[in-house]
Amino acid sequence: MLKCPGQDPQFWKPEDVVEVPCARCGYKVEFFKTDARLRCPQCDRQVANPTVNIGCAQWCEQASRCLGFEPTALDLPGSSGEPLVKRLVWGLRMALGPEDPRVTHALRAFEHAQSLLQQQDALPRRVLASVLLHVQPSLAPRLLEEAGFAPDEVRSIQRAATTLHERKAAHDRDLEVALKADLLTHEEGGVADTVHRTGAGQQHT
């Protein structure tokens, strides 16, 4: 499949690249339209891009083929964090590559977690984010920050993702739901079954 023109920089317009002043030091940080957050080169503060978007993926009927998932289907029951998790999915795909079996596994587990959350009393954002990141928890701090999660959430979700990655016993409701979603994914077999754990922060083989 050819690269989507909306995501290909050669088709971008001048307004797709913007400069946003750092709130701390005033340095102008240059963003592409697909950048959610960047660190200021001058003071290292996280700077959010107020114009972030992923092009036509929000409405294009071919988005699922282009991205490998349906962006409009990422619903967060009872939560206002839907854009954050969408950004997290996008960041994971960019970090690991769209063909990586870990991404496929994470997205399948994500779908199971969504279904389980309809019946379980758990925190949707923590469950869904930890399920997505458990395939490579070492990426959690960067991807969570770039997606816009608060610092306390970053720490909590990273711990949950690492616990899930190591398949340790669940000690709270969020982890119970996340673990069940992951187990359901492994039971499906196929691509998801090729993903196994070799220790937190290491790559799956």
Among 56-65, 85-94, 129-138, 186-195, the range of highest mean pLDDT: 129-138
pLDDT digits (tens, 9 = 90+) for 17-61: 888 888 788 898 888 766 767 889 999 887 777 665 555 555 565
Higher pLDDT, 7 or 112: 112
What DSSP state is assigned to residue 73?
Answer: G
Integer Cα distance of 146 and 132 in angstroms:
15
Domain extents in the chain: 73-194
Interval 104-142: pLDDT, tens: 888 888 888 888 887 877 888 889 899 999 999 999 999
Helices (H), 22-172: 63-67, 82-96, 101-117, 124-133, 140-147, 151-165
Residue 112: φ, ψ to 5°: -65, -40
* CB 117 within 8 Å of CB 174: no
The answer to whether residues 204 and 197 touch, using CB atoms and an 8 Å cutoff, is yes
